[in-house]
Structure 1
Amino acid sequence: MPLVQKEFTTRPSHPPIGEPPVTVRQEGQWFSIGPKIWELALNGDPDSDEKSVLQWYEPGAVSVTDEVITHTYIEEVCFIEGGLEDVTLGQAWGQGAYAYRLPGMKHGPYRASPQGCLQFVKLVPAPSTGGS
C-alpha cells in the first residue's frame, strides 16, 4: 500500500487493557504484534520497512524478544503516553521522548511502564548504497 494523504483530529483510542489478541489484520483496526503489544497502521504497507504506525504496550508488557534488537531500516519513535524501559541499558523514556535509530543500532528489549506506552513509530528504508 503506497503512502497516502490522511488526517485525523483526535488520537485513536488504543485497545483496552486485557483485550483479547486480534490476529487478522484489518485496515483501521488495532492488530496484536505480540503478547499485550498492539499496532495500528496509519500509512504505508503494514508488512514493510516503510510505514507509520501507533504502537500500544499494555502496562508491564515486554518485547517479543529477550535479545537486543537491531534492524535494517531507519526508525523514528515519539512517546505519546506512558513510557518504555530499555532493559539492556536500564534507561527509561517517557511521554514526549523521541528516538531516531539508524540501521544496526542496538536497542531493547523493552518493558512498558505501569501506565503502558503509546508511541508513534515511523519506519523508513535505509538508503541504497549500491552503485549505478
Structure 2
Amino acid sequence: MPLVQQEFTTRSNHPPPGAAPVWTPQYGEWYSIGPGIWELLLNGERGSDKKSVLQWYDPGATSVTDEVITHTYIEEVCFIEGGLEDVTLGQSWSTGAYAYRLPGMKHGPYKASPHGCLQFVKLMPASE
C-alpha cells in the first residue's frame, strides 16, 4: 500500500507495560514486534521498508536481537518520551533526540530506559 495523506489530532496511547501481545491487529491498533515492543502503523504497510510508525518499548525492554542491527533501507527516528540505550556503544538517547540512519549503518541492540521509550520511526527505501 502506498503512503497516503493522513492527519491525526490525537495519538493512540501505547499499551501498558506487560500487556498481552497482539500479533494480528485491526487497523489503528498497536501490534507486537517482540517481547515488550509495540508498533502503531501510521502510514504505509506493516512489514514494508516504506512506512511510518509509532514504536513503544516497555520499561527495560530489549531489542528482539542481541546482535548489532543493520538494514537495507533508510531509517529516521525521533524520540518522543523516555529513551533507549545502544548497548554496543554504551550511549543513550532520550526525549527530543533524532537519528537518520543510512543503509548498512551499525546500531543497537537497544535497552529501554526505566520509563520505556516512545519514538516516531520512518522507513524509506534507499532508492528514493
TM range (shorter): over 0.9
Name the CA distance, whole Å, in 2 between partners of 1:107 and 1:25.
Answer: 28
Unaligned runs of 5+ in 1: none
2:14 counterpart residue number: 14
Match of residue 87 from structure 1 = 87
- Who is 1:103 aligned against? 103
Q: TM-score, normalised by structure 1?
A: 0.94
The residue type paired with residue 127 of structure 1 is S
TM-score (norm. length: structure 2): 0.97
My pick for the range that moved more, 67-76 or 14-23, is 14-23
CA–CA separation in structure 1 for the residues paired with 2:32 and 2:46? 12
- 1:59-78 aligned at under 5 Å gives the runs 59-78=59-78
How many residues get paired? 128
Give the unaligned 5+ runs of structure 2.
Answer: none
- Write the distance in 1 (CA, Å) between the matches of 2:51 and 2:80: 18
Give the CA RMSD over aligned residues: 0.9
Alignment of 1:17-32 (within 5 A): 17-32=17-32
Q: What is the distance in 2 between the residues matched to 1:25 and 1:62? A: 22
- 2:39 alignment partner in structure 1: 39
Q: How many percent identity over aligned positions? A: 78
Question: Which 4+ residue blocks in structure 1 deviate beyond 4 angstroms?
Answer: none
In 1, Cα distance between equivalents of 2:26 and 2:108: 28
> How far, CA to CA, are the matches of 2:33 and 2:25 in structure 1?
10
Alignment of 1:120 with 2:120, yes or no, is yes
| Structure number with larger C-alpha Rg | 1
